[in-house]
Structure 1
Amino acid sequence: MAQAFTIDKHGQESLDEYLEYKRIVGDDDNGRLFTEAEYEAYKKKWIPIRMKNRIYVAFHNSDRDMDCKLIGPQTPCFCGHRYINHKTDFEKVPNPIKQPCRNCVCDNFHFIPKNGSQPIRCTCKHFPDDHALKHPYGCKKCPTGPKKCSEFKGSFTCDCGAAVYKHIMVKETKAERIKRGKPVGHDVPYQAMGGITGFSSLAPGVDRLDPSGIGPSSAGGGAPIQPGDHPFLKMHAQSLPDRKTPQTQQLQRREGESDMEYFERLYKWKQKTGYFLKN
């Protein structure tokens, strides 16, 4: 039987410092912890570059102008490795933006969704593992000839209602994303953040009730921030819109209202007021 163990305050602080270190450094230390001097030199070089040249990555439905999947550090690529295993830091942003994998021959990060926990099939009936690791990901199992599968074409339907093959990978700078009217969130020093700008970024595009992607907004209604709320909310409390207007009071959760009842009421309000068309 496993024994329970506790971590004292000093141990918790050390754990927090290590997690912060890994979010910043990732695998750039090649498995050997940087010395304090090396760590400071690494941060001095790369954090300003990340603030300036962050690459926002999304699996995008062009027909609906929707980012169906915002890519984060642990998002898997077609090659099977994670986004954080690909090149994400650029001293000078290339054009076009290509993000090769550091662990295999994959020459550019490309997201492919799954059906639950299972990989989806190509229209040739084979899995991604049966295809080449470079675009256009031709099938290695299909026989040669005029009908040979020359590209991976997933017909699986995304949450947005469109087939996977009708989506594109969007890789853009902060300025380009702002020009498209998409959220950029707050500048952070962490590696491989991609399109993640807040908690709501983890939800599929069709479920992202808060279009800002950086937490509760006046349109989302939420209750006022309290001392016991999550540190992320308290940290950005000053940047959140005023919640004391009649509209935001009306949209706050009612006493005894369940999550589903609240979100359904919020969704109906957005439909009625034309919120989706304006945003």
Structure 2
Amino acid sequence: MERLTLPAGGAAAVDDYLEYRRIVGEDDGGKLFTPEEYEEYKRRVLPMRLQNRLFVSWRSPTGMDCKLVGPETLCFCTHRYKQHKTDFETVPQQRPISLPCRVPGCLCRAYLYVPLNGTQPVRCRCKHFADQHSAQPGFLCSACSKCSGFHSCFTCACGQPAYAHDTVVETKQERLAQGKPVGRDVPYAAMGALTGFSSLAEGYMRLDDSGVGAPSPELLDSPGTAMDHPFLKAFQASATAPEALTDVGTSSQVSSLRRPEEDDMAFFERRYQERIKMEKAAKHKGKAPVPSKTKPS
């Protein structure tokens, strides 16, 4: 394996380049700006970007944002979101807002998210993949003549079909009016609706107002059970007051922890056998003694 070594100050130069790439995106046309051009670009673009950021999501008819679009998210035209027009001096008044693709020769006139089935794009009802259809409005299939336009019956994890979802482009004010998170103002290009690490999760897994929402206080305050994950039980034990630990018992706390010499199978087998033994003991304890039958004298 080849080992890369950086000269003194090399790590800082890499960080500066990554910062440059996040801010400039595709706007330099593949040729790095000079320091003067870079400063002029930031002076001209960053105030506009911070004020007129557009949030893009793939929304279920239930109102859940099943997918939050970011710089690398693919469009129906197979180009990424960062390759579309995302910066505006003034936000367009018409709705929906169209974000055309800037790749030369691409026919895409508006960013349109298409879900993936694993690593492949979903299929149309004509049995061909999404990338086998034209990016021009109408989305006709290029592999057959019977297709009247891309229409997928793929079912999202939210339970709704893909064709019932919409690619939504909205401003910060419109998103705040719906109670959805907007995160902090950042100078980076084509951030879409990403506001944090949780934005990378699917909507039904996202515990914020763009997904299923935060767990209820009843769920968060509910006591632990025997079926909880060992790591969770160990954390609960360490967070519990010492006087409360005496009720649980030291042996059960130690038993729930994995021993250094145990592999996965040995650990779960030991925990399984302990649970079976506890269930048998509880069952035996719950049985009432059978009264002896004596014949009347």
TM-score band (shorter)?
Answer: 0.7 to 0.9
In the alignment, the residues of structure 2 paired with residue 256 and residue 193 of structure 1 have an alpha-carbon distance, to the nearest angstrom, of 38
114, 125, 128: which is aligned to 1:126?
Answer: 128
Q: How many residues align?
A: 226
Aligned pair in 2 of structure 1 residues 7, 258: CA closer, same or farther (>3 Å)? farther
Matched, 1:115 2:117: yes
Letter of the 1:136 counterpart = G
75, 81, 84: which is aligned to 1:83?
Answer: 81
218, 231, 237: which is aligned to 1:257?
Answer: 231
Q: Which residue of structure 2 aligns with residue 99 of structure 1?
A: 99
In the alignment, the residues of structure 2 paired with residue 142 and residue 250 of structure 1 have an alpha-carbon distance, to the nearest angstrom, of 57
In the alignment, the residues of structure 1 paired with residue 87 and residue 181 of structure 2 have an alpha-carbon distance, to the nearest angstrom, of 20
Q: Which residue of structure 2 aligns with residue 137 of structure 1?
A: 139
In the alignment, the residues of structure 1 paired with residue 75 and residue 169 of structure 2 have an alpha-carbon distance, to the nearest angstrom, of 14
For the 8 Å contact 2:113–2:167, the answer to whether it is kept is yes
Letter of the 2:196 counterpart = G
175, 188, 191: which is aligned to 1:190?
Answer: 188
In the alignment, the residues of structure 1 paired with residue 28 and residue 4 of structure 2 have an alpha-carbon distance, to the nearest angstrom, of 30
Task: Give aligned-pair identity as a percent.
Answer: 51
Letter of the 2:136 counterpart = K
Letter of the 1:105 counterpart = L
For the 8 Å contact 1:56–1:173, the answer to whether it is kept is yes
Q: Which residue of structure 1 aligns with residue 37 of structure 2?
A: 38
CA displacement at 1:6 relative to structure 2: 3.2
For the 8 Å contact 2:71–2:192, the answer to whether it is kept is yes
60, 71, 74: which is aligned to 1:73?
Answer: 71
Letter of the 2:132 counterpart = D
Q: What SS is found at the alignment partner of 2:9?
A: helix
CA displacement at 1:128 relative to structure 2: 1.5
In the alignment, the residues of structure 2 paired with residue 169 and residue 207 of structure 1 have an alpha-carbon distance, to the nearest angstrom, of 19
For the 8 Å contact 2:66–2:203, the answer to whether it is kept is yes
Q: Which residue of structure 1 aligns with residue 292 of structure 2?
A: none
Q: Output the TM-score relative to the length of structure 2.
A: 0.69
RMSD of aligned alpha carbons: 2.9
CA displacement at 1:7 relative to structure 2: 3.1
Question: Which is higher, the Rg of structure 1 or of structure 2?
Answer: 2
For the 8 Å contact 1:210–1:220, the answer to whether it is kept is no
For the 8 Å contact 1:72–1:193, the answer to whether it is kept is yes
Q: Which residue of structure 1 aligns with residue 259 of structure 2?
A: none
For the 8 Å contact 2:65–2:210, the answer to whether it is kept is no
Structural mapping, 1:41-56, within 5 Å: 41-56=40-55
Structure 1 gaps of 5+ residues are 222-245, 263-279
Aligned pair in 2 of structure 1 residues 159, 136: CA closer, same or farther (>3 Å)? same
180, 189, 201: which is aligned to 1:203?
Answer: 201
Letter of the 2:34 counterpart = T
For the 8 Å contact 1:108–1:134, the answer to whether it is kept is no
Structural mapping, 1:7-46, within 5 Å: 7=6, 10-46=9-45
Letter of the 2:231 counterpart = E
For the 8 Å contact 1:53–1:89, the answer to whether it is kept is yes
CA displacement at 1:9 relative to structure 2: 5.5
Cα deviation per residue 1:39-73 (whole Å; 9 max; x = unaligned)? 111001111111111010000002x1100000000
Q: Output the TM-score relative to the length of structure 1.
A: 0.74
Q: What SS is found at the alignment partner of 1:257?
A: helix
CA displacement at 1:136 relative to structure 2: 2.8
Aligned pair in 2 of structure 1 residues 9, 255: CA closer, same or farther (>3 Å)? farther
Letter of the 2:30 counterpart = G
Aligned pair in 2 of structure 1 residues 220, 16: CA closer, same or farther (>3 Å)? farther
150, 153, 161: which is aligned to 1:152?
Answer: 150
In the alignment, the residues of structure 1 paired with residue 119 and residue 132 of structure 2 have an alpha-carbon distance, to the nearest angstrom, of 18
Aligned pair in 2 of structure 1 residues 125, 117: CA closer, same or farther (>3 Å)? same
Moved over 6 A (4+): none
Q: What SS is found at the alignment partner of 1:19?
A: helix
Q: Which residue of structure 2 aligns with residue 60 of structure 1?
A: 59
